[in-house]
C-alpha cells in the first residue's frame, strides 16, 4: 500500500481524493493546501492536514505525493519531493518548459523514485486498444491524428482564477485540454518537429483565449490536427489514420464523470466495426499504475522520453501562440 499526500485540494485534488477512498493500492494519509480552509476537507477525508509542503514531504509517513497545484509550481515541487525520496504523481502539464521537464525527470531518476503524470486518456480502455492496434501494425503506417478535447467548465470561472492566466496557462485551452491530445499524439506519432497554433477569444469572456487550432508536424512525417475549445459543450474525440485503416474514439463525457466510449475501426477490405465501451475510471487506473511503478510491480506505462517530448512540443506551442509563426520544437538535438 502506497501512502500518499495530495498537494492542492482544489477541483482536481478533491476529485482524486474521492477516487482513492477504499483503494487497495494507494491510501491518502495527508492533504496539503495553502488555504487553511481546506483543513475541513482533509478532516472529512480522514487525513492529517498542513499548509506546509516541506513538512509534508519530510514526513516519514508519506511515501508519495500527488501534485494538483498550479502549473508553474510543478517542476520545483517534483524536484523537492524526489529529493526527499518521495514518489511523484504530477498533474498535467508536467512542467511549462523543456528545461524544467528534464530537471524533473532527472531528479526522480537520481533519487530512484517513480514519476507519473495525469494524462488519464492513456488509460481509457478504447485508447489502450487504439495504441495496441497501432503498435501491432494493424493500422499500417501511421499518417495523421485528428483530435478534439473541448468543454465549457471554465466559462463561469472568476477572471482572476490562475487557470485563466497567461503565466500559468499560456495559449488558452492548451494546458487545460490540448496537452492531453498532444501527449497521445506524441505517444503514437513520436516527437514533434514543428508546431503552428492559433488561439483566439471568440465565444466567452476568457481573455486568455477560448478557441485553439494546432497543427503538429511530427519527425515521422505524420501530422496531428488538434482542436481545443473552452467555449462550447463537452466534446472528446481522438482518431488516428493509417495506411491500412483508421480508428476513432468518441468520449461520451468528461473524464471527471466517465460515461463510456465508442470505438470505430475501419480497416481496408474489412467490415467497419463499432464497439461500445462501458464507463471505466481512467483517472484511477492511472493512479494505480503509479502505485505499481512505485512498488516495482510494473514499469509506469508512459515512457519518460514521451513525457519530455510532450513538454518540448508544448513549449513550442507557447512560442507559436505568441509569435503567430510556425515554431521548431527543441528536442535537444539542434546545434
Ligand atoms: N487530469 C485532468 O483531467 C485534470 C483535470 C483538472 C485539473 N487538472 C490539473 O490539476 C491541477 C490543479 O488544477 P485545479 O483545477 O484543481 O486547480 P484549483 O485551483 O482548483 O486547485 C489548486 C489548489 O492548489 C492549492 N495550492 C496552490 N499552491 C499550493 C502549494 N504551493 N501548496 C499546496 N497547495 C497549493 C490552491 O490553494 C488550490 O486549492 C492542474 O495541474 C490542472 O491542470 C487535471
The closest of 302, 307, 312 to 99, measured between CA atoms, is 312
Residue 333 located in a structural domain: no
Decide: 109 in ligand 1 pocket, CB within 6 A.
no
Decide: 286 in ligand 1 pocket, CB within 6 A.
no
The alpha carbon of 9 and the centre of ligand 1 are apart by a number of angstroms equal to 7
Residue 263 located in a structural domain: yes
Decide: 33 in ligand 1 pocket, CB within 6 A.
yes
Nearest CA to ligand 1 atom 5: 12
Domain end, chosen from 55, 88, 119, is at 119
Cell numbers at residue 44, please? 472529512
Q: What is the pLDDT of residue 53?
A: 98
Domain of residue 34, CATH code: 3.40.50.720
The alpha carbon of 263 and the centre of ligand 1 are apart by a number of angstroms equal to 31
Looking up cell 482544489 gives 10
The closest of 133, 312, 125, 124 to 240, measured between CA atoms, is 133
Residue 334 located in a structural domain: no
Tens of pLDDT, residues 297-307:
999 999 999 99
Same domain, 169 and 65: no
Tens of pLDDT, residues 259-272:
999 999 999 989 99
Phi/psi at 43 (5° precision)? -60, -40
Give the whole-angstrom CA distance, residue 291 versus residue 129: 22
Give the whole-angstrom CA distance, residue 312 versus residue 191: 9
Given a cut of 70, the residues of the chain with pLDDT beneath it are 334-335
Cell numbers at residue 170, please? 499560456
Q: What is the pLDDT of residue 335?
A: 43
> Is-contact 54 30, C-beta < 8 A?
no
Nearest CA to ligand 1 atom 3: 255
Tens of pLDDT, residues 111-132:
999 999 999 999 999 999 999 9
CA 284 to chain centre: 13
Same domain, 126 and 114: no
Nearest CA to ligand 1 atom 31: 34
Same domain, 262 and 152: yes
Q: What is the pLDDT of residue 334?
A: 61
Q: Identify any residues that bridge with 247 across adjacent strands, giving them in sequence order.
A: 240, 265
Helical (H) or strand (E) element with 247: strand 245-251
Same domain, 109 and 166: no
Domain end, chosen from 63, 91, 119, is at 119
Same domain, 107 and 181: no
Nearest atom in ligand 1 to 38's CA: 39
Same domain, 161 and 292: yes
Cα-based torsion angle of the residue sequence 12, 124, 276, 185 in order, rounded to the nearest 10 degrees: 110
Domain of residue 176, CATH code: 3.30.360.10
Q: What is the pLDDT of residue 122?
A: 98
Decide: 54 in ligand 1 pocket, CB within 6 A.
no
Decide: 187 in ligand 1 pocket, CB within 6 A.
no
Nearest CA to ligand 1 atom 7: 12
What range does the domain containing 20 cover? 2-119
Decide: 17 in ligand 1 pocket, CB within 6 A.
no
Domain end, chosen from 119, 140, 167, is at 119
Give the whole-angstrom CA distance, residue 114 versus residue 99: 19
Amino acid at each position: 500500500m502506497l501512502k500518499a499526500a495530495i498537494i492542492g485540494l482544489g477541483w482536481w485534488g478533491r476529485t482524486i481524493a474521492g477516487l482513492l477512498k477504499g483503494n487497495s493500492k494507494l491510501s491518502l494519509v495527508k492533504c496539503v493546501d495553502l488555504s487553511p480552509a481546506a483543513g475541513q476537507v482533509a478532516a472529512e477525508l480522514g487525513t492529517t492536514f498542513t499548509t506546509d509542503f516541506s513538512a509534508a514531504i519530510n514526513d516519514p509517513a508519506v511515501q508519495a505525493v500527488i501534485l494538483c497545484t498550479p502549473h508553474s509550481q510543478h517542476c520545483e515541487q517534483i524536484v523537492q519531493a524526489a529529493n526527499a525520496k518521495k514518489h511523484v504523481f504530477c498533474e498535467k502539464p508536467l512542467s511549462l518548459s523543456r528545461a524544467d521537464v528534464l530537471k524533473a525527470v532527472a531528479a526522480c531518476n537520481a533519487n530512484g523514485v517513480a514519476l507519473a503524470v495525469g494524462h488519464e486518456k492513456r488509460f481509457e480502455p478504447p485508447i489502450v486498444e487504439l495504441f495496441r492496434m497501432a503498435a501491432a501494425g494493424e493500422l499500417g503506417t501511421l499518417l495523421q491524428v485528428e483530435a478534439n478535447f473541448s468543454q465549457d467548465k471554465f466559462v463561469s470561472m472568476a477572471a482572476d482564477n490562475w487557470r485563466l492566466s497567461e503565466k500559468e496557462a499560456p495559449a488558452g485551452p492548451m494546458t487545460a485540454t490540448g496537452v492531453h491530445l498532444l501527449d497521445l499524439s506524441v505517444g503514437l506519432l513520436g516527437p514533434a518537429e514543428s508546431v503552428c497554433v492559433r488561439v483566439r477569444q471568440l465565444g466567452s469572456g476568457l481573455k486568455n483565449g477560448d478557441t485553439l487550432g494546432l497543427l503538429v508536424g511530427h519527425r515521422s512525417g505524420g501530422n496531428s490536427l488538434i482542436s481545443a475549445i473552452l467555449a462550447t459543450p463537452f466534446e472528446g474525440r481522438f482518431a488516428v489514420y493509417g495506411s491500412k485503416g483508421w480508428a476513432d474514439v468518441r468520449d461520451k463525457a468528461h473524464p471527471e464523470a466517465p460515461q463510456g466510449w465508442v470505438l470505430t475501426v475501419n480497416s481496408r477490405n474489412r467490415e467497419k466495426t463499432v464497439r461500445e465501451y462501458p464507463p471505466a475510471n481512467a483517472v484511477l487506473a492511472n493512479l494505480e499504475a503509479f502505485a505499481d511503478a512505485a512498488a516495482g510491480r510494473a514499469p509506469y506505462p508512459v515512457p519518460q522520453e514521451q513525457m519530455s517530448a510532450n513538454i518540448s512540443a508544448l513549449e513550442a506551442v507557447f512560442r507559436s501562440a505568441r509569435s503567430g509563426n510556425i515554431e521548431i520544437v527543441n528536442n535537444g538535438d539542434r546545434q
